[in-house]
Structure 1
Amino acid sequence: MFVGILSVVSVLALTATARAPQETVTGSRKVTPEQFEQWKKDLNNWGRWGKDDEIGTMNFITPAKRKQAAALVKEGFSVSLAADVDTEKAVDNPQPYEHEMLGLGTDRIGVAFHGIAHTHLDSLAHINYDGVFYNGYKPDPEQIKKANGHAKNSIHNLKNGIFTRGILIDIPLMKGVKYLEPGTPIYVEDIEAWLKKAGLKIQPGDALFVRAGVWARRKELGPYLRGRTGKDAGLDPSVIPWLKKQDIALLAADHPQYVSPSTVVGAVHDFALVSLGIHLFDNCDLEALSAAAAARKRWEFLLTAAPLPIRGGTGSPLNPIATF
């Protein structure tokens, strides 16, 4: 019997023949820090499911929603949405996976999974505003260290897994490019244009996967610095009011959910977690999904995923699966 010891530390793109401009629309959508602060008050989901809620928009995934998602399986064809475990240090992977063989049939892996390199799921105990997490949870930092985990909002709340309808938002495919250049913003108009092209409507409880083509660009040009201190194509802060109205269960991308640089650093990522209570899949590899969906001209699928049941954890590495 093969035994694996796991230690986890919390800390085929479609190649277009013609390139098109990567700005779909014009005009200023600048979101000021002051406006962002006001949105925290006006657009949050705190208390929507009661003062003790810890799962936020996952409440939209009901038994009826799971049945609807199951009906999307027509072929039984599945594709992974995770990047391969990366053990090589690079500018965009400062904390690579550790993989050590302990014997002929035994190994150990370890990872500080948050950041821009590894596919993972953020819990609602990951990001805070001035020490306050989703739904007003404000823990004592010293107690968190002493208990080695959070008392609320942890990834353990999703132990029973994720089973819902997934939708791919393939912006590079719509624009006729292999990938978006770093720093390219994705606006509401881009998303809605894609949904119209794909013949899809977002429904409560859906999981949205936004592809910018990060892994296609990395494969072609090599590692590059992304995230808060680098340059990323991603969701513009101006999408936040639209996002609030959609009642999605999860948000996912091949990047950390936000455009960078930006007037509000990390805006969509942080707002989704703290204000809206939306769990996030970061750094998914959506290239195989893009190819599979385009081949079928079908951009909705059954999404399944299961994080590690880490009590008090701020997230988990995992391997989401799309099934057509």
Structure 2
Amino acid sequence: MSGSPGATKLNENGIPDFESLPLREGDPKYSAWGLYGDKDELGTLNRLTDDRVAEAAKNEIKTGVRISLNWPLNAQKDSDSGFFNRKLFHQDLFAKPPRCVNDDKERLFYNGVTMEDIHEDGGSGVNGIQAWAQKGIVGRGVLVDHHSWRLEQINKKQQPNQELDPRLVNFDHFATTPIPLGDIRACLESQGTEIKFGDILFIRSGWIPKHQTLSLSSPATLASHASHNPPSFCGLEPSPQLFKFLWSHFSAVAGDQPSLECWPPLATRDPVNSGDQSSLHEVMLAGWRMPIGELFDLEALARECRNRKRWSFFVTSEVVNVKGGVASPPNALAIF
């Protein structure tokens, strides 16, 4: 490889512009390997500096009201099995050749770590979740309440001579339904929410209340959705524009659906490189080591935000300290 991350121009937030990615010739597209050193395991969590966390606490914590973001572990107790063929309350990782879904890029993980690096000496723990457990994921959170915004748009357009947007009306939580960047920006503008560099982004799609409705009214339908392989879910629409948006602003991103991006992943076609296909998981996790949160319970949070007319808050998430771990319950609180 040629080139050096140290020679890359950094913007006012201390990161290279999205257009500068990858930082070195030969690295995977959109990756930021080497930005914080070849041995770094924090990735975009380096953006959560002590100063930013202290500022978030000062500006966001006003009343001490605390909201849990943890969906109960027994929330799917009425199902025979979980989505993605996962056992309830337990998860095993299986290699499924020829496509081994490890959220890697070109069979490489963040900073070029290989599968062999991870498994050497019975498990090296490199890029394990224990690196995130040392200081937690703590800072200013921002909620994009897409579900409420979408319903508001439908209600507004039900006036005389107003044409309903079928894309919003026919939104299907259990289909590969994309949430495009334009909707996220429109929602933020409608809320009057300002984004600050290093924020932790939360997207409420409404998947959990839809799941709860089906669990009560049509468990057979819910079981049918769970039996699909692969299952289908709504989620963020991967695009170069969305990649740029996430890279330019956030330290971590979470949603209330089983997959942050719409699933199965949509092939992303870059207009400059017509053959390019990228998913959020491989770009965010393997390219940037930006944490992805899924199945966060954002219902009480959304109600609190609406009541306060403020969609920013202080958030803390303490992941489990397991060497080599690949996931964790969120253990998250939003504090107002």
Residue deviations 1:201-227 (CA, integer Å, cap 9, x gap): 322211100111111001111234399
Partner of 2:238: 237
Partners of 2:124 and 2:192 in 1: CA distance:
41
Residue deviations 1:160-181 (CA, integer Å, cap 9, x gap): 2121000001111111179952
| Superposition CA RMSD, Å | 3.0
**Gap change, CA 1:133 and 1:173, over 3 Å in 2:** same
Q: CA deviation at 1:153?
A: 1.1
Matching of residue 46 in structure 1 with residue 33 in structure 2 = yes
User: Is contact 1:228–1:266 with CA below 8 Å preserved after alignment?
Assistant: no
**Gap change, CA 1:293 and 1:314, over 3 Å in 2:** same
What aligned pairs does 1:180-259 form with structure 2 within 5 A after superposition?
180-182=171-173, 183-222=176-215, 223=222, 224-225=225-226, 229-238=230-239, 239-255=241-257, 256-259=259-262
Which structure 1 segments of 5+ residues have no match? 1-39, 98-110, 116-125
**Gap change, CA 1:228 and 1:270, over 3 Å in 2:** farther
What aligned pairs does 1:99-178 form with structure 2 within 5 A after superposition?
111-112=90-91, 127-140=103-116, 144=119, 147=122, 149-159=123-133, 160-176=135-151
Which structure 2 segments of 5+ residues have no match? 1-26, 95-101, 155-167, 216-221, 268-276
User: Is contact 1:168–1:300 with CA below 8 Å preserved after alignment?
Assistant: yes
* Deviation larger for 167-176 or 215-224: 215-224
Structure (1 or 2) with the greater helix fraction = 2
Partners of 2:201 and 2:227 in 1: CA distance:
21
**Gap change, CA 1:282 and 1:170, over 3 Å in 2:** same
Secondary structure of 2:226's match?
A: coil
**Gap change, CA 1:57 and 1:113, over 3 Å in 2:** farther
Task: Say which structure, 1 or 2, has more relative contact order (CA 8 Å, 6+ apart).
Answer: 1
Secondary structure of 1:163's match?
A: strand
User: Is contact 1:226–1:232 with CA below 8 Å preserved after alignment?
Assistant: no
The higher radius of gyration belongs to 2
**Gap change, CA 1:257 and 1:114, over 3 Å in 2:** farther
Secondary structure of 1:209's match?
A: strand
Counterpart residue type for residue 310 of structure 1: V
Q: CA deviation at 1:137?
A: 1.0
Aligned pair count? 263
TM-score (norm. length: structure 2): 0.70
Secondary structure of 1:112's match?
A: coil
Partners of 2:325 and 2:319 in 1: CA distance:
10
User: Is contact 2:193–2:310 with CA below 8 Å preserved after alignment?
Assistant: no
Q: 2:279 aligns with which of 245, 260, 267?
A: 267
Structure (1 or 2) with the greater strand fraction = 1
Partners of 1:114 and 1:174 in 2: CA distance:
36
Q: Could you tell me the percent identity over the aligned residues?
A: 27
Q: 2:304 aligns with which of 292, 295, 298?
A: 292
Secondary structure of 2:315's match?
A: strand
Residue deviations 1:209-252 (CA, integer Å, cap 9, x gap): 01111110011112343997122111001254333442311010
* Deviation larger for 61-70 or 198-207: 198-207
Partners of 1:275 and 1:240 in 2: CA distance:
14
Q: CA deviation at 1:113?
A: 7.6
Runs of 4+ in 1 over 4 A off after TM superposition: 177-180
Partners of 1:156 and 1:185 in 2: CA distance:
32
**Gap change, CA 1:281 and 1:42, over 3 Å in 2:** same
